[in-house]
Structure 1
Amino acid sequence: MSPAASGSPTPDVVVIGAGMIGAACAYYAARAGFAVTVLDSGPVAGGTSGAGEGNLLVSDKEPGPELDLAMRSQELWRTLAAEDDGAFGTFGASFEYEAKGGLVVAFTAADFEALQGFAATQLASGVVAEHVPGDHLAEYEPYIAPGLAGGFWYPQDAQVMPALATARLLKASGARLRLGSAVTGLSVSSGGAVRGVRTTSGEIPARFVVNAAGFGASAIAAMAGSTLPVQPRRGFVLVTEPLPAMVRHKVYSAAYVADVSSSDAALQSSAVVEGTPSGPVLIGASRERVGLDRTPSYEALGRLAAQGAELFPFLADVKVQRYYCGFRPYLPDHLPAIGPDATVSGLFHACGHEGAGIGLAPATGELIAALLAEAEPAVAAEPFNPARFTHSGDVTDGHREDAQ
């Protein structure tokens, strides 16, 4: 791997956020020839990326811009995973890339009919979705509950270990890391062009700034006088004791697709079960908008345990070792904001991917790099334009401060 050297003290691009999206933006910007600095108030993958399952999914996305972004990302993930990484062998081996596919199942005939219609709409967009009759599901998952109505097999679905993938991609980018540096403001010229970022550890001049701050991206946008209504959407995941390989693929109920596209603020949960290379089984997924409250929700945890055991009955007798909590960066139209700020020239946003950020990261980074270089992007940029949320006026004062 040979991205451009980007450890220059004066970067071309400052990326705010050392999560998966920020790492991908840094990697592809460096490959496009930019010197990059990545800064974060916490550690690498210390936010949403470190609390995710590492899903690389096409199975849960309806035809449209997000699916286009996901399909491109799948291509890029496969390319990344196959590249040589020295002592680790392939790059993918260093972050546990598994092209293991996904199985989406329906408990009832009505759910299966809806799932069948959904899969039919995806086929024209290049998604591979193969019908699996209920009495054949055990051929894919021997321990799955009997009596299910049917399902669809999605061989393009994959998984990575998200914290490892973030760290490895950041290292491969060659970007300079500045951790423990919180953003306090943007430096903006009187003409409305970004000049850098002010942080708690000093100012970093730059030609471009990329806001990849996850659920904190709305505060960064506000510094530019822009509006990005990113909200945290809390989720819990259960982690079992280590087990033999009893769950072969990512397996989830058809209800998960509806939960992903819902705007309901109340608690929603649907069974998502997958094994890991180290043995524990991960059981999700819950969604609710409760701000940044990390208080354990025993209702959510109980639902996940019950729904996981409904899908795989053997889990009823398995110990849960721990759970973890994370916050998905949610935008109300369920599309990420990727592209230039409507107010400040040179400021770009890459945020609001909700629970799909790991899967969508490579195509997001590639798109940001193309926009920085004024090149033709591989995926249409307009549907993700952050200006769709902006209602504020122009910047005229040369500086924008964090409201905090």
Structure 2
Amino acid sequence: MPKRHPLDAVIIGAGVVGAACAYYAARSGLTVAVVDRGPVAGGTTGAGEGNLLVSDKEAGPELDLALLSTRLWRELAGELPDTEYEPKGGLVVAPDETTLKALRTYAEGQRAAGVENTEITQNALPALEPHLSRDMAGAFHYPQDAQIQPAKAAARLLEASGATTYLGERVTDILTDDGGAVRGVRTTRRELLTPNVVNAAGTWAAEVAALAGSSLPVLPRRGFVLVTEPLPRIVRHKVYAADYVADVASDSAALQSSAVVEGTPAGPVLIGATRERVGFDRTLSTEALRRLATQAQALFPILAEVDVQRVYHGFRPYLPDHLPAIGADPRVPGLHHACGHEGAGIGLAPATGALIAAALTEGRPPLDPTPYRPDRDFTEGSAP
């Protein structure tokens, strides 16, 4: 007979989003379990760079989530040990005056929404980044941008939550009663009884939704990252070209790349990021790697003499309107979603967890949850 556990909620997914949901649910007094078919941070989280960004988000619902998460990550950095939280700040650079002018307009809109940023003139850039190409026309500095080690952050959040964790167990069914309401989950090893299930399954969130008789148009979006040999701190901030913002917001399925270059406490420089929708194809793309290396050298010519020691890739959970699905699914009572963050899940995890905790307890949400409704029209507001 399968073992049964009465729980307030079962969270499917042990990445950083699922871990944050467990953490904030537990802080709200709930008893939760976390189930994952792999290890902690075994999916998108483990393949992430650890970006905690506000600089790449224009005013709107995603930026609202990011600003809340920025504050929460600062709090968590003081509560959780060994997450490598680093408030390094971001630097968005413009190669020419036309791009710099567009950045000014973009930054002005962000400031009105609560983002801190400052224009950096061409002459002042070497003081912030001595090795940055002298060909840049100027930049904007974003002091709220930060970085964290994502796998460690997920593990620390799960530990702090006290949640019972079942790893290496795939969810095969979401159990419902005669009225269609959630009553538990079945895994490859057991049944867990609960009135609430949280779908934090990342790129597999569409499959989990389907198990409950619901739907979400989550698709994988592949990305590659280059990792250099250990170096002195030659890159002080998170540095990227202005066209990265357009790549993040694009709906194109084709390969897109815009270098994001940053140093790490351990020494290696991380170079991302590419985006393409190719399903779960894990084939190494030499074109993607070539583009990243070329673009990184354009930003930091010193990298031309540096060895790349390894390459890794992952799949971002993409939704067509570029907003995550967070909250209760009215189509299936007791089903909640916390997925579709694409490449921003690490940065947006705390705010997502706080929203899910409020939904589970019927408490007051920390911000308006309406834009993230799981049953919304995902074609509305899509980028052109």
Give the TM interval when normalised to the shorter protein.
over 0.9
Residue 192 (structure 2) pairs with residue 196 (structure 1): no
1:352 aligns with 2:352: no
The match for 2:382 is none
The AA in structure 2 aligned to 1:355 is G
Instruction: Tell me whether 1:25 sits opposite 2:21 in the alignment.
Output: yes
Among residues 4, 14, 37, which one is paired with 1:41 in the alignment?
A: 37
Match of 2:74? 78
Structure 2 counterpart of 1:61, one-letter code: K
Q: Is the Cα contact below 8 Å between 1:221 and 1:228 reproduced in 2?
A: yes
Question: CA offset at residue 9 of structure 1?
Answer: 4.1
User: What are the residue-to-residue correspondences of 1:203-242 with 2, within 5 Å?
Assistant: 203-242=191-230
Write the letter of the residue equivalent to 1:27: Y
Structure 1 residue 337: Cα displacement? 0.1
SS in 1 for 2:91: strand
> C-alpha distance in 2, partners of 1:78/1:284?
24
Which residue of the other structure, out of 289, 300, 311, is the alignment partner of 1:301? 289
Q: CA deviation at 1:374?
A: 0.5
Paired residues, number: 375
In the alignment, the residues of structure 1 paired with residue 215 and residue 153 of structure 2 have an alpha-carbon distance, to the nearest angstrom, of 30
Query: Deviations 1:317-354 (Å, cap 9, x if unpaired)?
Result: 10000000000000000000001112110110000000
Q: Does 1:244 align with 2:232?
A: yes
Contact kept? 2:198, 2:338, Cα under 8 Å:
yes
| 2:8 match | 12
SS of 1:121 mapped into structure 2:
helix
Match of residue 327 from structure 1:
315
1:248-283 CA deviation, whole Å, 9 max, x = no partner? 110000010000000010000001000000000000
Please state whether the residue corresponding to 1:266 is helix, strand or coil: coil
How far apart are the structure 1 equivalents of 2:93 and 2:345?
A: 23
Aligned counterpart, 1:3 = none
Matched residues in 2 for 1:117 and 1:262: separation? 19
Cα distance, 1:243 vs. partner? 0.2
Deviates more, 1:218-227 or 1:333-342: 218-227
Structure 2 match to 1:257: 245
Structure 1 CA distance for aligned equivalents of residues 135 and 36 of structure 2: 49
- 1:225 CA displacement: 2.1
1:311 maps to: 299
Tell me the amino acid that sits aligned with residue 29 of structure 1: A
Contact 1:25–1:366 (Cα < 8 Å) also in 2: yes
TM-score calculated relative to the size of structure 1: 0.92
Verify the 8 A CA contact 1:227 1:389 in the aligned structure 2.
no
Query: Whole-Å Cα distance in 2 between the matches of residues 386 and 136 of structure 1?
Result: 45
User: Aligned equivalents of 2:234 and 2:74: distance in 1?
Assistant: 25
Contact kept, 8 Å, 1:228 with 1:389, in 2: the verdict is no
Aligned 8 A contact 2:5 2:193 in 1: no
Instruction: Specify which of 91, 101, 110 is matched with residue 122 of structure 1.
Output: 110
The Cα shift of 1:216 comes to 0.2
Deviation, 1:177, is 0.5
AA partner of residue 329 (structure 2)? D
Instruction: Find the aligned partners of 1:351 and 1:327 in 2 and give their Cα distance.
Output: 13
The percent of aligned pairs where both chains have the same amino acid is 64
Determine the structure 2 residue equivalent to 1:86: none
Shift of 1:10: 2.6
* Aligned 8 A contact 1:283 1:304 in 2: yes
1:266 is matched with 254
What is the letter of the counterpart of residue 44 of structure 2? T
Residue 29 of structure 2 aligns to which amino acid in structure 1? G
Deviation at 1:224, TM superposition (A): 2.2
- In 1, the alpha carbon distance for the partners of 2:263 and 2:296 equals 12
Match of 2:163 in 1: 175
1:63 lines up with 2:73 in the alignment: no
State the SS of the aligned residue for 1:243: coil
CA deviation vs aligned residue, 1:134-175 (integer Å, no higher than 9, x gap): 121111100000021111000000000000000011101000
Over the residues paired in the alignment, what is the CA RMSD in angstroms? 1.1
Aligned-partner Cα distance in 2 for 1:138–1:104:
14
In 1: Cα distance, 2:190 partner to 2:77 partner: 36
CA distance in 2, matches of 1:9, 1:247: 49
Alpha-carbon distance in structure 2 between the residues aligned to 1:26 and 1:389: 28
Counterpart in 1 of 2:381? none
Q: Is the 8 A contact 1:272 1:308 kept in 2?
A: yes
Deviation at 1:389, TM superposition (A): 4.7
Instruction: Give distance in 2, aligned partners of 1:322 and 1:62.
Output: 33
